[in-house]
């Protein structure tokens, strides 16, 4: 959070007014609210923030929620049924209200505001023209550092393949200048013609800049200009009898023409544009972004959202959250319909970019056709997601039927324990939400009450901590999968009975498949995974290759991977720690000074009291503590 946003968060906070239900209607004393720009927060009875909004005129905005005729939005009564009080924060300008609203939404994630949980970052290509010999980089964050960025691209693998072709045409450097200059000769990329080796003086700065200009023109889609420039250079080289240079330029022209022919993209006019399409069905909305770069459609990105309020608030909130991230800002943004705060959003984005950005609502022509294309993409993305959702529901229904669960397992949690000879024991929890991995819900558990290698006791502690928190937060799974056989399942059943949750949460144990050899011991077969249920002797099995089996195996493997990764991290951290870290009063700077003075940890261990006390800047009391630590 920036300093300005922190100042806004501590702005003028007006005392809230309790809402009153009179004759079945919700009423409020609006005179207690200011006629100024700001942000309002709606709270539920249990003090949870339900919704955060901004307004140019707070009193008028709140009046729209409580007018007898309503404000025309059918969804507002659903929200207002839960609202018990409203607080407002006054700001100086409407733009400050916009920034504050975005900050509060990120901090509190209110239920009725949109939440862009899809954090999949598309890659971009970066080149810093301020460097002496600029190089290409594939990055996932776009920073305001003065460099040029191209993209975004949905596939990192595809853009790496593209850059391989770019290096064959314009051989820019691959590695840092300092590292390459330490080598006695140019790298392998120079040997195969994909680097011009500026680190060893094989190319001058002026000629290198010509390569950079060609790369930028290619990435911006100006292939025809690049080809014409290379043709001129080829003809000049041929006239000067530099036939090897002319042949190299000829090959570069052929490579570009071949690449352009393979693309077969549609030209949508010049400039960089982001086009937004929205498809709504029931309480679900699909938002699609089309990325147009220099007239070429280079990709799309879709966001599935649950939304019950009107679409204008959805679109405004989406623009604030998406473009507040580190993404490439376009020259123009095409919207599917008019927004009340369109001018304000345009001003905010232009200030963020340092260059004017136009927000347009096209009515005709090519731009309108782009909006319709984005709309069709949103509808198609929604239908595809619906098909996947139906397949996942059928999968979960199969799991419910197989394991005789009390309810559909929309949330499945799997637990695993990892340790080596009882040291650095950790637990892990992997989660499936509606049949999809929910990595944001994964959790680590450092064991606090168990010493030694006791998997049952470790599992008991982890399950107790998880269920205690789940009961407090009212977030419990419909099914728990334990990596282990009947013993681990017995632990899970006992803990569920301890919290009286055995009728609410299904318990399942998954045992690893067994390797079976024939009588001669040559042919080896692997049996199916076995699932154990409480009170049932024989295990449950799925048919080989079943989608539900694969889903549960993947969840078990995720829990194991998550536990082992954390265990290795703790073990590695412990092996790299210094004994000096355990001495009270010895911080990082003091540790560095001690090692520098004595030369090594071995010499420090062997130092006498007198030698420690003679060290400059080391208090005598601390010298005594260090001596006793090593000699007690």
Name the average pLDDT for the chain.
Answer: 79
What does the pLDDT average to over 260-271?
A: 49
Strand 436-437 to 443-446 pairing = unpaired
Confidence band for 452, pLDDT divided at 50, 70 and 90: low
Asked if residue 116 belongs to a domain, the reply is: no
Most confidently modeled of 148-157, 251-260, 530-539? 530-539
What does the pLDDT average to over 77-82?
A: 74
What does the pLDDT average to over 492-521?
A: 79
**309 and 219, same structural domain?**
no
Note the pLDDT of residue 21: 44
Give the model confidence (pLDDT) of 180-192 as tens digits: 887 778 888 888 8
Give the model confidence (pLDDT) of 304-334 as tens digits: 887 766 788 888 888 888 888 778 888 899 9
Q: What is the DSSP string of 207-274?
A: HHHHHHHHHHHHHTT-HHHHHHHHHHHHHHHHHTT-HHHHHHHHHHHHHHHHHHHHH-PPB--SSEEE
Separation CA 552–CA 70 (nearest Å): 49
Separation CA 215–CA 225 (nearest Å): 11
Confidence band for 23, pLDDT divided at 50, 70 and 90: very low
Confidence band for 10, pLDDT divided at 50, 70 and 90: very low
Whether this model's pTM surpasses 0.85: no
Residue 516 pLDDT > 50: yes
Domain boundary among 231, 263, 295: 263
**194 and 47, same structural domain?**
no
Q: CATH number of the domain at 306, please.
A: 3.30.420.10
What does the pLDDT average to over 482-503?
A: 87
**207 and 309, same structural domain?**
no
More confidently predicted of 567 and 238:
238
Separation CA 170–CA 252 (nearest Å): 8
In this prediction, what percent of the chain has a pLDDT beyond 90?
Answer: 4
Full 3-state SS string of 299-331: EEEEEEEECCCCHHHHHHHHHHHHHCCCCCCCC
Note the pLDDT of residue 262: 42
**543 and 444, same structural domain?**
yes
**228 and 369, same structural domain?**
no
Domain count of the chain?
A: 5
Asked if residue 402 belongs to a domain, the reply is: no
More confidently predicted of 224 and 479:
479
Give the model confidence (pLDDT) of 227-246 as tens digits: 777 788 788 888 888 888 78
What does the pLDDT average to over 456-483?
A: 88
**354 and 213, same structural domain?**
no
Asked if residue 404 belongs to a domain, the reply is: no
Asked if residue 297 belongs to a domain, the reply is: yes
Separation CA 314–CA 27 (nearest Å): 26
Domain boundary among 573, 591, 617: 573
Which domain, by its residues, includes 368? 272-383
Give the model confidence (pLDDT) of 591-628 as tens digits: 788 888 888 778 888 888 888 888 888 888 888 888 88
What does the pLDDT average to over 89-98?
A: 86
Asked if residue 209 belongs to a domain, the reply is: yes
- Looking from the CA of 482 toward its CB, the CA atoms found within 13 Å total 27
More confidently predicted of 423 and 544:
544
Q: CATH number of the domain at 619, please.
A: 1.10.150.20
Note the pLDDT of residue 511: 83
Strand 296-306 to 284-293 pairing = antiparallel
- My answer on whether omega of the bond before 55 falls inside 30° of 0, hence cis, is no
Note the pLDDT of residue 211: 85
Contact indicator for 357, 349 with CB cutoff of 8 Å: yes
**242 and 304, same structural domain?**
no
Confidence band for 257, pLDDT divided at 50, 70 and 90: low
Asked if residue 217 belongs to a domain, the reply is: yes
**143 and 257, same structural domain?**
yes
Note the pLDDT of residue 53: 86
Give the DSSP H or E segment for 414.
strand 411-420
Q: CATH number of the domain at 80, please.
A: 3.40.1440.10
What does the pLDDT average to over 22-36?
A: 66
**568 and 445, same structural domain?**
yes
**168 and 43, same structural domain?**
no
Separation CA 563–CA 567 (nearest Å): 6
Give the model confidence (pLDDT) of 334-365 as tens digits: 999 998 888 888 988 898 888 899 899 999 88
What does the pLDDT average to over 34-40?
A: 87
Asked if residue 160 belongs to a domain, the reply is: yes
Note the pLDDT of residue 276: 92
**432 and 377, same structural domain?**
no
**563 and 454, same structural domain?**
yes
What does the pLDDT average to over 581-588?
A: 75
Domain boundary among 263, 293, 312: 263
Residue 120 pLDDT > 70: no
Residue 22 pLDDT > 90: no
What does the pLDDT average to over 512-536?
A: 67
Residue 436 pLDDT > 80: yes
More confidently predicted of 31 and 420:
31
Strand 506-511 to 479-483 pairing = parallel
Contact indicator for 277, 254 with CB cutoff of 8 Å: no
Note the pLDDT of residue 269: 54
- Our measurement of the distance from residue 69's CA atom to the centroid of its chain's CA atoms, rounded to an integer in Å, reads 42
Note the pLDDT of residue 265: 42
Residue 264 pLDDT > 60: no
Q: What is the dihedral of CA 554, 557, 561, 564, to 10 degrees?
A: 160
Of 65, 105, 56, 106, whose CA–CA distance to 85 is shortest?
65
Q: CATH number of the domain at 493, please.
A: 3.30.420.340
Asked if residue 113 belongs to a domain, the reply is: no
Note the pLDDT of residue 578: 63
More confidently predicted of 423 and 475:
475
Q: What angle (nearest 5°) sits at the alpha carbon of residue 548, between those of residues 546 and 550?
A: 70
Dihedral sign for Cα 619, 624, 627, 628, please: negative
């Amino acid at each position: 959070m920036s300093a300005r946003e922190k100042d806004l968060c501590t702005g003028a906070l007006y005392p809230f007014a309790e809402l009153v239900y009179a004759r079945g209607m919700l009423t409020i004393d609006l005179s207690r609210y200011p006629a100024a720009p700001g942000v309002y927060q709606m709270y539920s009875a249990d003090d949870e923030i339900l919704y955060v909004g901004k307004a140019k005129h707070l009193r008028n905005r709140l009046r729209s929620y409580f007018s007898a005729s309503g404000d025309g939005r059918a969804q507002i009564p659903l929200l207002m049924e839960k609202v018990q009080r409203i607080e407002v924060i006054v700001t100086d300008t409407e733009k400050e209200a916009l920034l504050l609203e975005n900050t509060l939404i990120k901090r509190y994630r209110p239920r009725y505001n949109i939440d862009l949980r899809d954090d999949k970052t598309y890659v971009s290509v970066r080149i810093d023209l301020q460097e002496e010999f600029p190089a290409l980089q594939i990055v996932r964050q776009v920073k305001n550092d003065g460099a040029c960025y191209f993209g975004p691209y949905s596939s990192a693998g595809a853009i790496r393949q593209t850059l391989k072709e770019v290096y064959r045409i314009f051989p820019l450097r691959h590695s840092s200048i300092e590292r390459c200059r330490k080598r006695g000769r140019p790298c392998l990329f120079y040997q195969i013609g994909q680097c011009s080796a500026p680190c060893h003086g094989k190319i001058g700065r002026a000629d290198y800049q010509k390569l950079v200009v060609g790369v930028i023109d290619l990435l911006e889609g100006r292939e025809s200009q690049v080809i014409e420039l290379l043709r001129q250079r080829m003809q000049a080289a041929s006239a000067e009898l530099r036939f090897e240079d002319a042949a190299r330029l000829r090959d570069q022209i052929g490579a570009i023409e071949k690449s352009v022919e393979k693309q077969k993209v549609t030209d949508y006019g010049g400039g960089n544009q982001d086009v937004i399409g929205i498809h709504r069905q029931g309480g679900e909305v699909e938002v699609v972004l089309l990325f147009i770069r220099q007239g070429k459609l280079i990709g799309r990105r879709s966001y599935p959202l649950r939304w019950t309020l009107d679409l204008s608030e959805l679109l405004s909130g989406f623009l604030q959250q998406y473009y507040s991230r580190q993404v490439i800002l376009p020259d123009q943004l095409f919207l599917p319909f008019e927004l009340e705060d369109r001018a304000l959003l345009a001003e905010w984005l232009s200030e963020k970019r340092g260059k004017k950005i136009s927000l347009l609502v096209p009515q005709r022509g090519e731009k309108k056709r782009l909006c319709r294309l984005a709309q069709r993409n949103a509808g198609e993305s929604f239908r595809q997601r619906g098909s996947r959702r139906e397949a996942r529901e059928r999968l979960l229904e199969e799991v419910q039927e197989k394991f005789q669960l009390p309810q559909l397992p929309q949330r499945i949690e799997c637990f695993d324990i990892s340790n080596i000879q009882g040291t650095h024991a950790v637990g892990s929890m992997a989660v499936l939400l509606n049949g999809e991995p929910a990595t944001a819900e994964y959790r680590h558990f450092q064991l606090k009450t168990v010493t030694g290698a006791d998997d049952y006791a470790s599992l008991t502690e982890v399950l107790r901590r998880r269920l205690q928190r789940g009961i407090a937060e009212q977030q419990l799974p419909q099914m728990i999968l334990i990596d282990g056989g009947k013993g681990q399942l017995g632990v899970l059943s006992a803990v569920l009975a301890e919290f009286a949750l055995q009728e609410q949460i299904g318990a399942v144990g998954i045992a690893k498949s067994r390797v079976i050899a024939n009588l001669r011991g040559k042919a080896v077969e692997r049996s199916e995974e076995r699932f154990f249920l409480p009170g049932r002797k024989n295990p449950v099995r799925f048919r080989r290759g079943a989608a539900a089996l694969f889903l549960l195996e993947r969840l078990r493997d995720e829990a194991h991977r998550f536990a082992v990764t954390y265990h290795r991290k703790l073990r590695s951290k412990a092996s790299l720690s210094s004994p000096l870290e355990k001495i009270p009063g010895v911080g990082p700077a003091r540790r560095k000074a001690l090692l520098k003075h004595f030369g090594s940890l071995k010499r420090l261990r062997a130092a006498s009291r007198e030698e420690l006390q003679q060290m400059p800047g080391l208090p005598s009391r601390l010298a005594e503590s260090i001596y006793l630590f090593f000699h007690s």
